[in-house]
Amino acid sequence: MDKVIKLERHDMIAVLTVNSPPVNALSAAVRGGILECIKDAIVDPAIKAIVLTCAGRTFIAGADITEFGKPSKPPALNDVLSEIENSPMPIIAAIHGTALGGGLELALACHFRVATKEAKLGLPEVKLGLLPGAGGTQRLPRAVGPELAVKMIVGGDPIPAAEALKNGLIEEIIEGPAAGGEAFARKVLAEKRPLRRLRDDESKIAAAKADRSIFTNAVAAMTKKSRGLEAPFAAADAVGYAIDLPFDEGLKKEREGFLKLLTSDQSKAQRYAFFAERKAHKIAGVPEGTKSRPVERVAILGAGTMGGGIAMSFANAGIPVTLIEPGEEQLKRGMGIMQKNWEATAARGGIPADAPAKRMALINGVVGIENVGNADLVIEAVFETMAVKKGVFGKLDQFAKPGAVLASNTSYLNIDEIAKSTNRPHDVLGMHFFSPANIMKLCEIVRGPRTAPDALITAVATSRQIAKVPVVVGLCDGFVANRMYDQSGKQAGKLLFEGALPQQVDAVLTKFGMPMGPFVMSDLAGNDIGWLSRKDRGIKSEIADALCEAGRFGQKTGKGWYRYEAGSRTPIPDPAVETLIEQTLARLGRKRRAVSDEEILERMMYPIINEGARILEQGIAARPGDIDVVWLYGFGWPIYRGGPMYYADQIGLDGVLTKMRELQVTMGDEFKPAALLETLVAEGRKFADFSQPA
Which of the residues are catalytic?
A: 105, 125
Find the part of the chain contacting ligand 3H9 (CB under 6 A) among 21-29, 32-40, 110-118, 419-427.
21-29
Q: Where are the beta strands (DSSP E) in 125-199?
A: 159-160, 172-174
Q: Is 499 left (phi over 0), alpha (psi -120 to 50) or beta?
A: left
What is the pattern of x (binds ligand 3H9, CB under 6 A) and - over residues 239-278? ---------------------------------------x
The CA distance from 640 to 272, in Å, is 10
- When binding is defined by CB under 6 A, the residue of 63, 109, 148, 251 that contacts ligand 3H9 is 63
Q: Is 22 in the site for ligand 3H9 (CB under 6 A)?
A: yes
CB 237 to ligand 3H9: min, Å: 15
Percent helix / strand / coil, the chain, rounded to 5: 55, 10, 35
Q: Do residues 294 and 465 lie in contact, with contact meaning Cβ atoms separated by under 8 Å?
A: no
Identity of the residue, 13 or 144, whose beta carbon is nearer to ligand 3H9 in the bound complex: 144
Nearer to ligand 3H9, 98 or 421 (CB): 98
Q: How far is the CB of 189 from ligand 3H9 (least distance, A)?
A: 31
Q: Which of 134, 161, 298, 396 binds ligand 3H9 (CB under 6 A)?
A: 134
Q: Which is nearer to ligand 3H9, 215 or 258 (CB)?
A: 258
- Span from 64-72, 305-313, 516-524, 640-648 in contact with ligand 3H9 (CB under 6 A): 64-72
Q: Which CB sits closer to ligand 3H9, 222 or 469?
A: 469
Kindly tell me which of 120 and 297 has the beta carbon lying closer to ligand 3H9: 120
Q: Measured from the CB of residue 78, what is the shortest distance to ligand 3H9 in angstroms?
A: 7
Shortest Å distance, C-beta 70 to ligand 3H9: 12
Site residues for ligand 3H9, window 277-336 (CB under 6 A)?
278
3-state DSSP assignment of residue 357: helix
Residue 464: which of 277, 211, 603, 688 has the closest Cα?
A: 277
What is the pattern of x (binds ligand 3H9, CB under 6 A) and - over residues 91-130? -------x-xxx--x------------------xx--x-x
CA–CA separation, 347 and 341 (whole Å)? 10
For 422-490, give the DSSP string: SS-GGGEEEEEE-SSTTT--EEEEEPPTT--HHHHHHHHHHHHHTT-EEEEE--STTTTHHHHHHHHHH
Contacts of 345 (CB under 8 A, 6+ apart): 351, 355, 356
120-122 and 159-160 as β-strands: parallel, antiparallel, unpaired? antiparallel
Q: Which residues of 423-440 are buried (b: 16+ CB within 10 A; e: fewer)?
A: ebbbbbbbbbbbeebbeb
3-class SS string, 260-328: HHHCCHHHHHHHHHHHHHHHCCCCCCCCCCCCCCCCCCEEEECCCHHHHHHHHHHHHCCCCEEEEECCH
Judged by CB, which is closer to ligand 3H9: 156, or 425?
156
Q: Report the residue number, 105 or 380, with the smaller CB distance to ligand 3H9.
A: 105
Minimum CB distance to ligand 3H9, residue 74 (Å): 13
Q: Which of 7, 14, 23, 442 binds ligand 3H9 (CB under 6 A)?
A: 23
Nearer to ligand 3H9, 30 or 613 (CB): 30
Residue 135 touching ligand 3H9 (CB under 6 A) = no
C-alpha triplet 422, 427, 430: angle, nearest 5°: 95
Provide, rounded to whole angstroms, the least separation between the CB of residue 255 and ligand 3H9: 8
Q: Out of 13, 15, 25, 639, name the contact with ligand 3H9 by CB under 6 A.
A: 25
- Our CB check for ligand 3H9 shows the closer of 132 and 642 to be 132
Find the binding residues for ligand 3H9 in span 417-436 (CB under 6 A).
Answer: none
96: three-class secondary structure by DSSP: coil
Q: How many residues bind ligand 3H9 (CB under 6 A)?
A: 25
User: Across the beta sheet with 159-160, what order do the strands follow?
Assistant: 98-100, 120-122, 159-160
Stretch that binds ligand 3H9, among 59-67, 181-189, 432-440, 449-457 (CB under 6 A): 59-67
CB neighbour list of residue 5: distance below 8 Å, 6 or more residues apart: 16, 17, 18, 19, 30, 33, 34, 36, 37
Instruction: Provide the angle, in degrees to the nearest 10, between the axes of the packed helices 247-262 and 231-244.
Output: 170
CB of 51 to ligand 3H9, least distance (A): 22
Residue 62 in the binding site for ligand 3H9 (CB under 6 A):
yes
* Stretch 459-518 residues interacting with ligand 3H9 (CB under 6 A): none
| Nearest C-alpha neighbor of 457 from the set 469, 470, 468 | 470
CB of 99 to ligand 3H9, least distance (A): 10
Beta carbon of residue 35, minimum distance to ligand 3H9 (angstroms, whole number): 14
Q: Which of 231, 226, 223 is nearest to 265 (CA)?
A: 231
- Rounded to 10 degrees, the C-alpha dihedral 511/514/518/520 comes to 80
User: How near is the Cβ of 626 to ligand 3H9 at its closest, in Å?
Assistant: 14
Parallel/antiparallel/unpaired status of strands 377-380 and 405-408: parallel
133/448 with CB nearer ligand 3H9 = 133
Interface residue with ligand 3H9 among 33, 90, 129, 132 (CB under 6 A) is 132
Burial grade of 168 (CB within 10 A; 0-12, 13-18, 19 or more):
middle
In sequence order, which residues have a C-beta less than 8 Å from that of residue 185 and are 6 or more positions away?
A: 13, 49, 50, 51, 90, 92
81 binds ligand 3H9 (CB under 6 A): no
Is the CB of 57 or the CB of 587 nearer to ligand 3H9?
Answer: 57
Question: Whole-number minimum distance, CB 282 to ligand 3H9, in Å?
Answer: 7
Task: Provide the greatest CA pair distance for the chain.
Answer: 94
Question: Interface residues with ligand 3H9 (CB under 6 A)?
Answer: 22-23, 25, 58, 61-66, 77, 98, 100-102, 105, 124-125, 128, 130, 132-134, 136, 278
